[in-house]
Chain A
Amino acid sequence: MIRESKRSILLRITNYFLLITGFLAATIFVTPAFAQATTPTVDPGTIPDDAVNAIAQDMFCPVCESTPLDVCGTQACHQWRELIRQLLAEGQTEEQIKAYFVEQYGDRVLAEPPARGFNWLVYVIPPFAFVVGAFFVFRVMRSWRAATPAMSADMPTVDDEYVQRLEEELEKRA
């Protein structure tokens, strides 16, 4: 009977654990996709820099590692930004533009790996590890508490004790 209940508790904990991991992975890590309406072709010169940078800030060129595309000063990155402007003028959405670059240069142009296939691991492992860690910490705390006798009920209040302790310490150092 006891063994049964232990097993069910364990099962419940495992379920919670998987649920929390999945939830954390889904809510914290996966950015919702924002679809944009297609607009007609316009003169690229009328596309403001801010519109280009809004897309470029989440992209990296394969050469300038660790420098986001919107602030990279190289000629190659300048050309990429102009290409984004061109694609925006053609009426492409942010997703379509990013998809274009991914197709040409691979997933590495995105600031985050797209949540698919092997890339899922990047999003799942940290919350999974955190939940495992939290579980261990919780278990350690419980085992510590279980092994400790109950404390006296007439504990001194925090302020009294604080002043008393402080005085003791200061006395020793005087």
Chain B
Amino acid sequence: MAANLGYGVLMITLLVSLYGIGASLYGLWKRNPFWVESARYAMLLTWPLITISALSIIYLLVTGHYEIDFVYSVTSNSMPGYLKVTALWGGQSGSLVFWCWLMSAFASAVTLRHWERDRELLPWVIVVCLVTLAFFLMLVIFFENPFARQWQLASGELVSTMTQPLGTLPFAPRDGRGLNPLLRHPGMIIHPPMLYLGFVSFVIPYAFAIAALITGRTDNRWIRLTRRWSLVAWLFLSLGLILGGRWAYDVLGWGGYWGWDPVEIAAFMPWLTGTAFLHSVMIQEKRGMLKRWNMVLVILTYDLMIFGTFLTRSGVLSSVHSFAQSAIGPLFFAFITLTLTVSLVLVFRRWEQLKSDNQMTSLLSRESLFLVNNLLFMGILVVCFWGVIFPLISELVTNQKVTVGPPFYERATGPLWLALLFLMGIAPLSAWRHTTVQTIGRAIWKPTMASFVVLAGLLIAGIRQFGALLGLWLTALVAFVTLYEFWRGARARRESRGESLPLALLRLAGRNRRRYGGYVIHLGVVLMALGIIGIEVFQTETQGTIPLGGSLTLGNYVMTYDSLAEFDTNDNRNVARAEVSVYRDGEFVGVLHPRRDYFYESQQPMTIPGVRSTLEDDFYVLLVDWQEISTQEATFKIYHNPLVNWVWLGGFVFIFGTLVAAWPHDDGEPEAMPAPRGAMVKA
């Protein structure tokens, strides 16, 4: 019943979406606002409809309807209730419904805004949003149906369809296979929704951009209207990536948080173009330049978002041939090609109209530096994109698969990241339009001197690795420049208004949240960079098999193997849990419990590290192997990860900065900066 309801409602939602597209286009053709208004209501209706469908799946998941293929594959009787609910996005078909639900929520939210000033954009925004939604709904309904039941053929084989095929019997197992144990971590529960939220919220700026291109309203209006959408999208994408990193660190058991896995890169690519867009869009707002480029960036972000979903959902990553065999692979490919082609054709049609209003006067002006920033982000994007698709091309052309792994990405993107750090150091000090070496020099010399003090300190501390020295010096430079910017602003306000320094700082940031939110984000990046350099350059590891009471040494740490217990748990796990004592410089610092959980239902092991975490470093222990019966010997792998916690701390600061920048202003409209008048107007 619930399955039929959910599936039926999905079909109705698809029809409503198609109606919305048709009504909007018809309204445009006939110049009849009635039809456009009707399309608006259709778009508004999609959210409650998909909510019913999503709730139907959740009901089926929670009540254990294992005759439903999706429910069988992602839940089991022993799973706690909250995991049964979050299993909605634990499998492909459910996650696509969840994607549609979020998309419809954002599309509905857009319909509720005041459209009086932007009436002509509305029909096209509706069309773009609903075309995207309809595409995903079609995937769910026709190819990845989460409501499909299982039926058993006479041969014992199982098939999944909505209705009973001839010659089959209903198949209703008493228990399911359970959620992939790797997905039971809190980080993994929140990580997919965050990424999806990021993905779907980028549809809105894209829809406005397309509407602007079609209607010819190519001024800054579409950017002003979508500024907060872009920031919110970027916030969620960033949050999703950070949570994904934390999940990998806690669950995957390889001592790191980022493995340059194609699935990670799939989510990272829209973030790269989104970040470039957030910077580049400022040039358009302040100077009326780069209008074409901003259009291209928002189109790229949208299509990379679809491409990311395609990469992870089509099976193309395991083999280019599985892409050809999968039903949704070619469809995704066609959709991406279509949207990219149509969007770019629209940009070329408005090419002349999108000409810059102003000219640049200085190679050190802020617009120039933002342009270089965009170049670097695009450079990283090219490395990522090419690294992900090259194995597929290689398989297609030479019939041989190759692996493009972390060493390639690290070497290729490392210099680009360092260059970006350097830009973060000087760009805040450069002004719009005109900046000279002298003016930058005057502003930067104090932070630079402070950063050289840090560099000297690092050298005295014995650090000699060139990469680490360069990276740490740059992070210090960015930190000092950013703090100096806060200081200069607060001091100016204190002197002119007589406010205390903390109050001046607070009011300063409050009055220009975008600028100072951006600076807070930069500080977050600095902290994250500190952690990344720590683990990339200074990580050490060792592995060894030791007897009970034996020890392993890594740097100034010693770990002794105290005991190991093996037991079954109520939720169908077999747990092997070791107890080890950790000593630092001969001093006892704590007991850790690295363990290996074996999930009987899914027959999957999961390695959970024992970690001693401080701001200085992590001592990270993995239980690799042990003697099954006597437990007299066990193999441990230990990592020393210096500064890694600064990645997570930096992540918090990063997200806080984004919230500051995106926080609504009292007037309900995005904050408008006055047009630059002076020769050296700052952001």
Contact = CB atoms under 8 A, between A and B. Distances in A.
Contacts of B450: none
Contacts of A165: 678, 680-682
B403 interface: yes
Interface string B431-444: 10011100110110
B261 interface: yes
A31 interface: yes
A65 B317 CA distance: 9
B630 interface: no
Interface in B119-163: none
Contacts of B81: none
B254 A71 contact: yes
Contacts of A108: 391, 400-403
Contact of B398 (A48, A118, A155): A118
B398 A156 contact: no
Interface stretch (B48-56, B202-210, B459-467, B540-548): B540-548
A119 B391 CA distance: 9
B367 to A, nearest CB: 9
A62 B401 CA distance: 9
Interface stretch (A2-10, A11-19, A34-42, A140-148): A140-148
Contact of B407 (A111, A121, A163, A173): A111
A95 interface: no
Contacts of A137: 371-372, 374-375
B680 A130 contact: no
Contacts of A119: 394, 402
B368 interface: yes
Interface in A14-65: 28-29, 31, 48-50, 53, 58, 60, 62, 65
A161 B252 CA distance: 52
A71 B254 CA distance: 6
B379 interface: yes
Nearest to A65: B318
A163 B492 contact: yes
A157 B443 CA distance: 10
A66 B382 contact: no
A132 B519 CA distance: 31
A109 interface: yes
Nearest to B624: A73
A76 interface: no
B22 interface: no
A140 B625 CA distance: 59
A134 B492 CA distance: 38
Contacts of A109: 403
B27 interface: no
Nearest to A106: B400
A51 to B, nearest CB: 10
A126 B383 contact: yes
B408 interface: yes
Interface string A150-171: 0110011111011111111110
A158 B605 CA distance: 61
Interface stretch (B9-17, B99-107, B328-336, B356-364): B356-364
Interface in B242-276: 252-255, 259, 261-263
B493 interface: yes
A90 interface: no
B398 to A, nearest CB: 5
B371 A140 contact: yes
B8 interface: no
Interface in B382-436: 382-383, 386-387, 390-391, 393-394, 397-398, 400-408, 411-412, 415, 429, 431, 434-436
Given A106-B401, A111-B407, A28 B415 contact: yes
A122 to B, nearest CB: 5
A96 interface: no
B674 interface: yes
Given A68-B405, A165-B680, A144 B493 contact: no
Interface residues of B, number: 82
A93 interface: no
Interface string A55-91: 0001010100111100101000010000000000000
A155 B680 CA distance: 9
Nearest to B679: A155
A48 B544 contact: yes
Contact of A126 (B356, B382, B443): B382
A50 B402 contact: no
B403 A151 contact: no
B390 A112 contact: no
Nearest to B262: A66
A107 B394 CA distance: 11
Contacts of B496: 163, 167
A132 to B, nearest CB: 10
Given A111-B403, A122-B386, A151 B679 contact: yes
Contacts of B625: 78
A29 B408 CA distance: 7
Given A28-B415, A118-B398, A133-B379, A58 B407 contact: yes
Contacts of A147: 359
Among the interface residues A110, A112, A133, A145, which one has the most CB atoms of the partner chain B within 10 A? A112
B512 interface: yes
Given A48-B544, A122-B404, A71 B488 contact: no
A111 B393 CA distance: 17
B482 interface: no
B255 A71 contact: yes
A169 B678 contact: no
Nearest to A173: B511
A73 B253 contact: yes
Contact of A66 (B261, B390, B512): B261
Contacts of A29: 408, 411-412
A134 B375 contact: yes
B542 A50 contact: yes
Contacts of B492: 162-163, 166-167
A43 to B, nearest CB: 14
Contacts of B262: 66
Interface string B492-520: 11001000000000011001100000000
Contact of B635 (A49, A121, A125): A49
A28 B404 CA distance: 15
Interface of B: 252-255, 259, 261-263, 289, 317-318, 356, 359-363, 368, 371-372, 374-375, 378-379, 382-383, 386-387, 390-391, 393-394, 397-398, 400-408, 411-412, 415, 429, 431, 434-436, 439-440, 442-443, 488-489, 492-493, 496, 507-508, 511-512, 541-545, 605, 607, 624-625, 635, 637, 673-674, 678-682
19 contacts: A48-B544, A66-B262, A112-B404, A113-B390, A117-B398, A129-B379, A133-B379, A144-B289, A145-B363, A152-B679, A155-B436, A155-B680, A158-B431, A158-B443, A159-B442, A166-B493, A167-B492, A167-B496, A170-B511
Given A126-B386, A162-B488, 16 more contacts: A28-B415, A29-B412, A50-B542, A53-B543, A71-B255, A113-B404, A121-B390, A137-B374, A148-B359, A151-B434, A155-B439, A163-B492, A165-B680, A165-B682, A166-B682, A167-B496
Nearest 6 A-B pairs (CB), nearest first?
A111-B405, A49-B543, A71-B254, A144-B360, A113-B402, A148-B359
